[in-house]
Amino acid sequence: MYRLLFEEIDVKLSTLVIAGAGYVLGTRAGRDRYDQIVRVARRVAGSQTVQSTAGLLQAQLDQFTAQARHLVAAKLNGEQPSGVNGYRN
Spatial separation of the C-alpha atoms in residues 19 and 12, rounded to whole Å: 10
Contact 5, 11 (CB under 8 A): no
pLDDT at 33 (0 to 100):
87
Q: Where are the domains of the chain?
A: 1-45, 49-81
pLDDT at 28 (0 to 100):
83
Which pTM value belongs to this model?
A: 0.50
Tens-binned pLDDT, residue by residue, of the chain (89 aa): 556 555 666 767 888 888 888 888 888 888 888 899 999 999 999 999 999 999 999 999 999 999 999 999 988 888 876 655 555 54
